[in-house]
A and B are shown apart, each in its own frame.
Chain A
Amino acid sequence: MDVSVITGNFKFLILQGLIGIGPFIGGTLRLAIPAILLGFVLGIFVGLARLSATRWIRMPATMYVEFFRGVPLVMVIFWIWFIIPQLLRLPIPEYGVALTAFVIFEAAYFGEIVRAGVQSVPRGQVEAATALGMTATKTMTYVVLPQALKNMVPSLVTQMIVLFKDTSLASIIGYVDLTKAAQIVNNREIKPFQIYIFIAIVYWLCTYSMSLFARRLERRAA
């Protein structure tokens, strides 16, 4: 099979598409890494809000999670694409649209993981911390969250892999990530089989190494 299309465009696909160095603002990693970090941070707040004793905090958080888990990500991307320029009255680059959409969407999923993680910490831990005179915030930060985090690791990494794959959807609105870079190359060279199999392998190398890493963490935690 003729693979010259890959060797000839290797630099463009990897540097521009995967990493984001090149003539376009793009890159799968440049989008995925901040999206994962910010999504997780927002997810912590969503997850804790769902466990709140106050109804007015718990209800909106529950609705947030149920809503975003019930609609496709593609829909959310289109929403952000139309809504934000309307609200702010100024055009937003694809990067901003994609990042906002991913963070808002994935926070619902991260929130569920955080909630499950916190609920897996034995109740006695909270009682003991309270008995020691710690405030609710201190109990959460120093006692509950560190233990919960350990229980969350496997599902967190799984969700990160999902998010990493989901960033390919940013190409729909024209963000030049790995998938869009492949489309650009394919429009010029018309070698779809080779190009798409190649980027499939690149995606696979990234996600599979993440899941191997997760498995190792799991074994160490067990």
Chain B
Amino acid sequence: MNYSFKWSVLWTGQSGYWLLQGLLTTLELSALAWILAVALGILSGALRTVNFLPLRWVATFYVEFFRNVPLLVWMFFWYFGVPPLLPRGIQDWLFNHGAEFWAGMLALGVYHGARISEVIRSGIQSIPRTQFEASVAIGLTTFQAYRLIILPVALRLIVPPATNESLNLLKNSSVALTISVAELTFQTRQIETYTAKAIEALTAGTLIYLVLCLSIATVMAKVERRYAIPGLIARVGPAA
């Protein structure tokens, strides 16, 4: 191997600043997308278990279509495909206000919302139907039964698979580099372009991702133990 290492490229020049900017963008993008994904996931996951057929269809279509198409295609779709359909004024405003960030956020959030929906649905379905029937029998409305009985138990059951999915979202935020969102992987490539030191730049980016993912996993393992339902060992299976 004919390669001369020069690790100092990582702390000289603008590299440190770029990495920090990239990390912050990755965290911001992932956090906003996560909120959107959880909201969509809870909504559609719950809708898929109700009795009213049309609502179930809408939710099923959303989940089955969005999670079965590559995230990269959604990135291009939201960034290139959707804006031309909007009125001229909104388009100009968007492209002056970081359209790629919002498109990336939507793509990540809507895609992972469909996947989180599956996690939530398997959580809800792992609760015996009799729990729901008992809640209705003591006079709760359907909404109350979900809010007070089903969801509190389901949410605790799904901590492990939901953590997994959240980490997937964080890692998948790197796909946003394809629509030039200046997140961590994008900045890693930028350092490599400016310094021609690929291995150093990639090592820095990789280590940041690793530390991020492993620390979240460690914290969530603690949460998982704290909120585990005593007497239950069965985990809810991971969703597709």
**Residue from B73, B74, B77, B85 whose CB has the most chain A CB atoms within 10 Å:** B73
Q: Which residue on chain A has the smallest CB distance to residue B212?
A: A70
Q: Which residue on chain B has the smallest CB distance to residue A82?
A: B198
Q: A192-B76, A193-B84 are in contact. Are A200 and B69 (CB under 8 A)?
A: yes
Which of B43-51, B152-160, B174-182, B225-233 lines the interface with chain A?
B174-182
Complex CA gap A70/B212 in Å reads 8
Q: Per-position contact with A for B159-196: 1 when CB-CB < 8 Å, else 0?
A: 00000000000011111011000000100110010000
Which of B17-25, B124-132, B141-149, B203-211 lines the interface with chain A?
B203-211
Check A73 for interface membership: any CB of B closer than 8 A. yes
Contact A179 B70 (CB under 8 A): yes
Q: A203-B70, A207-B68 are in contact. Are A71 and B81 (CB under 8 A)?
A: no
B171 in complex: contacting residue of A73, A83, A186, CB < 8 Å: A73
- Which residues from B are CB-within-8-Å of A69? 213
B69 in complex: contacting residue of A73, A167, A182, A207, CB < 8 Å: A207
Q: Which residue on chain B has the smallest CB distance to residue A28?
A: B70
Q: A79-B206, A155-B238 are in contact. Are A197 and B77 (CB under 8 A)?
A: yes
Q: A192-B76, A196-B81 are in contact. Are A70 and B65 (CB under 8 A)?
A: no
Contact A165 B210 (CB under 8 A): no
Q: Per-position contact with B for A59-96: 1 when CB-CB < 8 Å, else 0?
A: 00000001101111111001100110011010000000
Number of B interface residues, CB 8 Å?
Answer: 43
Contact A72 B64 (CB under 8 A): no
Q: A78-B189, A79-B202, A197-B77 are in contact. Are A70 and B210 (CB under 8 A)?
A: yes
A193 in complex: contacting residue of B64, B73, B85, B240, CB < 8 Å: B85
Contact B199 A72 (CB under 8 A): no
Complex CA gap A203/B72 in Å reads 11
Complex CA gap A71/B172 in Å reads 9
Contact A82 B72 (CB under 8 A): no
Complex CA gap A161/B238 in Å reads 14
Check A217 for interface membership: any CB of B closer than 8 A. no
Contact B70 A197 (CB under 8 A): no
Q: A67-B210, A82-B202, A168-B73 are in contact. Are A74 and B68 (CB under 8 A)?
A: no
- Which residues from B are CB-within-8-Å of A166? 70
- Which residues from A are CB-within-8-Å of B85? 193
- Which residues from A are CB-within-8-Å of B188? 75, 78
Check B80 for interface membership: any CB of A closer than 8 A. yes
B209 in complex: contacting residue of A72, A203, A204, A211, CB < 8 Å: A72
Q: Per-position contact with B for A190-207: 1 when CB-CB < 8 Å, else 0?
A: 001101110110011001
Contact B1 A171 (CB under 8 A): no
A75 in complex: contacting residue of B72, B178, B205, CB < 8 Å: B205
Check A121 for interface membership: any CB of B closer than 8 A. no
- Which residues from A are CB-within-8-Å of B69? 165, 200, 203-204, 207
Contact A193 B82 (CB under 8 A): yes
Complex CA gap A174/B1 in Å reads 25
Sorted from nearest, which 6 A-B pairs have the closest CB atoms?
A192-B80, A168-B70, A72-B174, A70-B213, A165-B70, A207-B68
A residues contacting B by CB (< 8 A) are: 66-67, 69-75, 78-79, 82-83, 86-87, 89, 154-155, 158, 161, 165-169, 171-172, 179, 182-183, 186, 192-193, 195-197, 199-200, 203-204, 207-208, 211
B residues contacting A by CB (< 8 A) are: 1-3, 64-65, 68-74, 76-77, 80-82, 84-85, 171-175, 177-178, 185, 188-189, 192, 198-199, 202, 205-206, 209-210, 213-214, 217, 237-238, 240
A-B contact pairs, 17 of them (CB 8 A): A66-B214, A70-B217, A71-B171, A71-B210, A72-B174, A75-B185, A82-B202, A165-B70, A165-B71, A167-B70, A192-B77, A199-B73, A200-B74, A203-B69, A203-B70, A204-B68, A211-B240
* Supplied contacts A86-B2, A196-B76, 8 more A-B pairs, CB within 8 Å: A66-B214, A158-B238, A167-B70, A192-B80, A199-B73, A200-B77, A208-B68, A211-B240
